[in-house]
Structure formats: C-alpha cells, structure tokens
Amino acid sequence: MRSDFGTTSKGEKAALYTLKNSNGMEAAVSDYGAVLVKVLVPDREGKLRDVVLGYDDVSGYEAGTLYFGETVGRVANRIGGGSFELNGRTYGLTQNDGSNTLHGGRDYYGKRMWTAEEADDSHVTFMLRSTDGDQGFPGASDIRVTYTLTQENEVKIHYHAVPEADTLLNLTNHSYFNLSGHASGLALDQEVMINADAYTEADAQSIPTGNVIPVEGTPMDFRKAKTVGQEIESDYEALIFGQGYDHNWVLNGSGYRQAASMYSKKTGIEMKVYTDLPGMQFYTGNFIVEEAGKEGAVYKKRQAVCFESQYFPDAVHKERFAGPVVRAGEVYDTTTVYQFGRR
C-alpha cells in the first residue's frame, strides 16, 4: 500500500510503502533514503509493537543526523583520512567524521529521493542512479535495494549493483532496534548474541588498526547471549573509545548464515540477523542525545541498537581485510535479513 509521506524542502513528494504478511506483521519503507520507517511485530500477547526508531514523515528524515533506518552508501562505516587509492589513482572524499569519511560522506544516500521501480504488498524495489564521481567515488552505477516482508516474518534487504568502472561498494541498513518498542526507553536489558570469535581493534577515531582481537575473556564476547548493559560500562579500551559498543565484529563462517540475535523478555519478541557479509557493526546508540521521533517519542542514549552488516571499516586501506572493491561489470549482490519471532 502506497501513502503520502510528506514533502521535502526541495518540493519532492515522498511516499510510504506498507508491506504486510498473513501473520500480522507489517513493515513500512520510504522512497526518501530507501529508509525502513516501521517494523510492526506481534508480541507474546499478540499486540503489535513498532520495534525500530524513526520519524513520522519525510521532514524528520531530512533533518535527522542519526541515520535512522537509512540505506547507507556508497561505502558504509569509515574510510580513514577521507581518501583512498585504486588502480594507482587517489580519490578524495568529503570528510564528515573528523578527518575521516563516514557512511559515504556529507552527501549520503539516506538524504536522496530513490525511484520505486516496483512494489506490491510484500516487496518494493528502490533504485538510485549514482554517477561517476558521486561522493568522490569512481564508476557510475544503478544501485537497487529491495525490501521484502516474507511469510517467515523476515524483513529481507537485498542490495544489487553493477558498476561501470572499478569502484568501492559497501551498502548497509542503519536501523535502530528496540524489541520492547521504539518508545519503551533503554534497550540495555535486552539480550544479544553475536556469532563472532573476534572483533577489529580500532583507534580513538574508530579507524581499525588492522589488528583482529579475540573476544575471549573481554566484554566484547557475545557468543553466549547476554544483556546489552551487562558489561557496557567496563573499563576496557574499546568501550571507552566507543563510549559503549560501536565496533565491527568478525563474523564466524562464510556465506549466508546467522550473525546475531536479540531478545526482549518484556515483550517476548526475538530477532535473528542473517547476512552473507564478513562483518557486522554492533552499535548501542551511544550518540543519541534527545531526538524527537515517531508518535511524540523522545529517543535517548542507548535506547536502541544497530546490527549493520558490512565489509570491515577502512578495508580499502587494510590488506588483510576483505575489501569492498568491485570491478567494472562485476555484480555486487548481498542480502541481510532481520527475522522476527516470539518466545
């Protein structure tokens, strides 16, 4: 179902597409930023809970700076120094995180109108034409993001692009999840599991050093489910630098597999995260101050968490890391799934 989602400051009319399945789940996405606006999940009593942070209309997304639900690109996460070298040529990017480039720089995909190419009650495909030199990256490409709400209660996000020249591609979704409900307060009592034996060490600017650190015996160990808040205040360098969790985990295995899970005892809602990518940024909303959100809610620090599937941050500068380089004519194709259930 397509409905009006307001008008941008440029006069662009945004639309909201609501997807439904036969189990009572709903998801809503917009062509502004190819953004995930709502995910409504039945709790253990059958009451629908909206479990993602967001805004009521397009003006909130246009003004917002926290990437709520946005499709992030051309390269998610950080590129150190705001530049990179490819095929012997140096490409300069906009610096929007100190001297570094974060989530594509200043002109990022979440602040643009996408074209809805096809839509029905279960899925919608958005397309963005990214020209050669866009954000400083080489190689024009039509970037497609398809959201599907399946009968298995999955919000499936599929990314597809074929660049016309060698470039970097590393798309992700930046939804903030709180399985007790988007307006329910802190998410610190919710349980998280991350299927990773290691994480990538980062400096005080969140740029990876290149070292991969085992989680064993550290507060970064989520191999067995524990509450978000259990060790978040530990005297541990990574947590001090990040002001909480804001790190890339080296996911176990390869190919499409489960990367993480989250559970709220309060509502009984469980979420499992699946991806085919090597890494995942787990972020605990450390930099939310007071953000006016949906339905009069005011979001605060650590009120939700993100599971951002990705190639490792700054991989273009780290030989050991699987890189986001995609050659001309190669297919960039990746899928991340958030699957919901109750227990």
Catalytic residues: 174, 308
Residues 84, 109: Cα–Cα separation, whole Å? 20
How far is residue 310's CA from residue 173's CA, in Å, rounded to a whole number?
Answer: 9
Q: Which residues contact 320 (CB under 8 A, 6 or more apart)?
A: 210, 212
100: alpha, beta or left, given left = phi > 0 and alpha = psi -120 to 50? Answer: beta
Q: Kindly report the backbone phi and psi dihedral angles of residue 81, in degrees, each rounded to the nearest multiple of 5, phi listed first.
A: 75, 0
Instruction: Give the C-alpha separation, 135 to 143, whole Å.
Output: 14
Please give the Cα distance from 323 to 281 (Å, whole number). 16
Q: Are strands 191-194 and 226-227 parallel, antiparallel or unpaired?
A: antiparallel
- Determine how many CB atoms are found less than 10 A away from the CB of residue 118: 10
DSSP character at residue 313: T
